[in-house]
Structure 1
Amino acid sequence: MKMPATAYKHLHDENVSSKKPTSCVILAVVMACLTVLGIILAIAILERPSSSDKIDGEKIFPLEPSVGSCSMTLVESIPVYMKYNDNATFGRPLETVWEDLIAMATEQLDVVSFYWTLTGADISVNSSSAIPGTRILTGLESLPARNVSVRVLISNPSVHTNSTDLKVLQQKGVQVREVDFGRLTDGVLHSKFWIVDRKHLFIGSPNMDWRALTQVKELGVVIHNCSELAIDLEKIFNSYWEMGLPNSTLPDPWPSKYDTNITKLHPLLVKEENITSQIYISGSPPLFCPLSRTLDLDAILTSISEAQHYVDVAVMEYLPLIQFEKPQRYWSVLDDAIRAAAFDRKVKIRMLISCGRESNPSVLPFLQSLAALDSNISHISIKIKLFIVPVGNQTDIPYSRVNHNKYMVTDKVAYIGTSNWSGDYFTTTGGVGLVISQHAPHLIWKKSIQSQLSVVFERDWNSQFAVYLDELGHHPDCALVK
């Protein structure tokens, strides 16, 4: 997006060769100059463009960002029968957050998910751990009767299931659309977020799946009373919604109604409880983003490049490949950024990568390559662990018992996203990310999202579920080593 012109122009002094004037002449000249300067400044102030003015048809960014109040809370779900130490701390339970969002909706609810499986019958499983998902589905069914408009978006192609969730919701009055990402970008719609009444929002790793509530480890953030950010996220939803129409085509460029003023360079400034936060939402793939939207990949790369001391990453899959094309192609963008941070700036890197029964063994050599660079002599710190959720007696539940998190925390920012860290997720697949940079007095810093996310990472990194690569050996619940 074209950057706006500044509101003022600098006045440059000119050196004029002349004879030395008398004191009266000097005084007269000075007074005249001050008068002219005063007129110029008065005109400049009167004509200074407001945030609603436009130059060349584009909205001008305000010189100072508006300050609002947005309440942010970290959200987690911890799989049943997964026990941490007694002193461990956790985010707010995902089930509680979703139930609260449903209860507080009075006008509109928009939900995006890769797929829907909120009941055990959806995947032919009979488990008491599916009950919370059924409750969420029942709550969503009740909204149209309360005169709440509900729109739901899913991906096409999606995960093949026996789910009847969306048919049930449609019968209750919910609007449902499938976005044919396969036709539009050769990818899928992998975003996961909620928008309630255009003022509350949730972004994170969980799909609309009962397993996300009880059988899969998830992480996200809920933000209340933050209309500017919710309306910005709604622009992304509306772009998906538009592309869900039959025979839709990707616009080039995207119409101005999808543009955003909340970006990496111009984040939303909010303050709550003496915590000052700068926030923006990133998106992918590039074909689905207007030029003004910060791309998800750029948000991650910037976060890594601006880190001065540490970068902690927790993601389900890390694979430097374009893996869903045939043939596969090497894609080193994130890998290069991590290596550069460790080599060039001596930033300490820690990566917590998930390993479950369905994990892709191809990730292992890439992780080993990064871990091999760790060297006390060269002052290069790249440490990698696998996070393994114990399966126990839950073997009858497919695609569960895994750490599905997708986040990063540095000494500068917190990033919470919806994408795995491999090439396809940033080139052809729909995803969003939330970037938060915060400042607060030391005594209340622990209330910040950055601090909460660091605590979660430390809890998991030091838990019994995290294992260094060279200490893994044979593990029945991890597909990377058999």
Structure 2
Amino acid sequence: MLGSDAGSNAGSCGDTCRIILVESIPEGTTFSDSSMPNPSTFSTWMNLLETVTRSLDITSFYWTMTNEDTRTHEPSAIQGEQILEELLQLSQCGVTVRIAVSCPLAKFPLNDLQALERSGAVVRTVDMPRLTGGVLHTKFWLVDGTHLYVGSANMDWRSLTQVKELSAAVYNCSCLAKDLGKIFEAYWALGIPGASIPVPWPANYSTTFNMETPSELKHNDTDAAVYFSSSPPALCAAGWTQGLGTLLSVIDAAEDFVDVTVMSYLPTTEFSHPQRFWPAIDNQLRKAVFECQVKVRLLAGCWQHSQVTMFPFLKSLAAVTNNRTRYSMEVWLFMVPASAVQAQIPYAWVNRNKYTVTEKVAYIGTSNWSGDYFVRMAGSALVVNQTVSQTSASTAAGTSIIREQLQVVFERDWSSQYSANIGDIERWESLCGSR
């Protein structure tokens, strides 16, 4: 349970927070010389591990920080192994380490979690299949109740060197860290064997930071309104803005453009049986284009594990635009290159980013865009609203607000050699959804 200060988060946040984009760029993937790299996931995790003095809470889908599971003897796995080795030392240094992880699946080894438990970390598995019919798909770190990391990267060595990931790191921001900590505490409580979802959730899991009353703070010396969303609805205590409602509101509030990058896009459920039509996000994108003349660009992931049913839906979105309409809806695919050797690494070489950027908002999430991720699976997102001009947003030392950083990443990927229009079937058909 949270401490006595759990509910004291109303109003503005006095911290001067620093929010930065964090990326994993797969080996062999290169962009133009003018593209400025963001800090890597590996360097960010190492920085957080060097910073921690009291407590580290991590929530994740699964753990494979070495490449024992793939038996590929891949040299780049050394980054994941180094992170794991640092984590194994923390408890001996007096740091309290807690890990909330989804109920293990047969294909995921338990070696890392068992080693962490032997080192003194406390691990709880959350039986999401029993509780909601989904999995714990959230990925975030909380450090000393002051710093945090949230985004697409799993606790997987491939997420450091073999998969394209995007996340956010937030430093010196206790108000946001404490708020995200309430989501962790909910997972932690549900990790007790036989636990059930409380109805309603006790008050100490609630928040006053949400879509209607976000936290008002300074981010890189610029005013910002920030909050977290959470999924699924059953795991949301009072005050939390649910994941779907957040995403729909971000799209609805856009007046100029909506740029989206997501690995998987389906206006259906994806893992439930039978599958159901689930057009909530799809309808909102079409509404934005049709009613408000908003320009939408969607960049979806393309790899051999893509659902083949995704592509007809993407083509349908793209068909909103033609030479006789004024609507602007563009759909492209991003393909991460892999050599013959690299292609032997399973479940790698894909763009797993899950974000949206508009002229007002940066949204960085942990969920793909299909029904199960918002109805059954645990996920979260960081939402930063900064409706400031381009000139007033510029700060000293060349830093910029997170919305601008995210827009730069989108433009870089959209115009890169790895992107192809959904209409250019010859470029992508043999690479996507071959299963």
Query: Into which bin does the TM-score normalised by the smaller protein fall?
Result: over 0.9
Structure 2 counterpart of 1:468: 421
Task: Please point out which of 201, 206, 215 is paired with 1:254.
Answer: 201
Cα distance, 1:323 vs. partner? 1.9
Alpha-carbon separation, structure 2, partners of 1:321 and 1:249: 28
- Taking the TM superposition and a 5 Å limit, the aligned residue runs for 1:376-391 are 376-391=323-338
1:387 maps to amino acid: F
Sort the Cα spacing of 1:232 and 1:178 in 2 relative to 1 into closer, same or farther, 3 A.
same
Cα distance, 1:273 vs. partner? 4.3
Q: Is the 1:117–1:123 Cα contact (8 Å) retained in structure 2?
A: no
Task: Please point out which of 429, 452, 458 is paired with 2:377.
Answer: 429
- Taking the TM superposition and a 5 Å limit, the aligned residue runs for 1:38-437 are 65-158=12-105, 160-393=107-340, 394-437=342-385
2:355 maps to amino acid: Y
SS of residue matched to 1:373 = coil
**Bigger Cα displacement from structure 2, 213-222 vs 161-170:** 161-170
1:128 maps to amino acid: P
Normalising by structure 1, we get a TM-score of 0.85
SS of residue matched to 2:79 = helix
SS of residue matched to 2:386 = strand
Q: Is the 1:215–1:401 Cα contact (8 Å) retained in structure 2?
A: yes
Sort the Cα spacing of 1:191 and 1:158 in 2 relative to 1 into closer, same or farther, 3 A.
farther
1:417 maps to amino acid: G
Cα distance, 1:475 vs. partner? 4.2
1:75 maps to amino acid: V
Alpha-carbon separation, structure 2, partners of 1:440 and 1:296: 25
Alpha-carbon separation, structure 2, partners of 1:476 and 1:133: 32
Cα distance, 1:326 vs. partner? 1.4
1:305 maps to amino acid: D
**Bigger Cα displacement from structure 2, 387-396 vs 307-316:** 387-396
2:249 maps to amino acid: T
Structure 2 counterpart of 1:22: none
Alpha-carbon separation, structure 1, partners of 2:226 and 2:178: 14
Sort the Cα spacing of 1:323 and 1:233 in 2 relative to 1 into closer, same or farther, 3 A.
same
Alpha-carbon separation, structure 2, partners of 1:362 and 1:94: 31
Q: Is the 1:305–1:337 Cα contact (8 Å) retained in structure 2?
A: yes
SS of residue matched to 2:405 = helix
1:423 maps to amino acid: G
Alpha-carbon separation, structure 2, partners of 1:373 and 1:125: 44
SS of residue matched to 2:101 = strand
RMSD of the alignment, in Å?
1.8
2:379 maps to amino acid: G
Structure 1 residues 348-402: Cα deviation after superposition (integer angstroms, max 9, x where no partner) = 0000000012211110000000000113532100000000001213021000000
Sort the Cα spacing of 1:61 and 1:244 in 2 relative to 1 into closer, same or farther, 3 A.
closer
1:448 maps to amino acid: I
Alpha-carbon separation, structure 1, partners of 2:320 and 2:281: 16
Number of residue pairs matched by the alignment: 424
Structure 2 counterpart of 1:459: 412
Q: Is 1:478 matched up with 2:425? A: no
1:356 maps to amino acid: W
**Bigger Cα displacement from structure 2, 301-310 vs 77-86:** 77-86
Q: Is the 2:23–2:164 Cα contact (8 Å) retained in structure 1?
A: yes
Cα distance, 1:474 vs. partner? 5.1
Alpha-carbon separation, structure 1, partners of 2:37 and 2:150: 17
Q: Percent identity?
A: 43
Alpha-carbon separation, structure 2, partners of 1:476 and 1:168: 42
**Bigger Cα displacement from structure 2, 398-407 vs 446-455:** 446-455
Q: Is the 1:77–1:218 Cα contact (8 Å) retained in structure 2?
A: yes
Alpha-carbon separation, structure 2, partners of 1:134 and 1:157: 20
Structure 2 counterpart of 1:7: none
Structure 1 residues 168-199: Cα deviation after superposition (integer angstroms, max 9, x where no partner) = 11111010011000000000000000000001
Alpha-carbon separation, structure 2, partners of 1:260 and 1:443: 31
Cα distance, 1:444 vs. partner? 4.2
Cα distance, 1:159 vs. partner? 6.3
Normalising by structure 2, we get a TM-score of 0.94
Alpha-carbon separation, structure 2, partners of 1:367 and 1:114: 27
SS of residue matched to 2:188 = helix
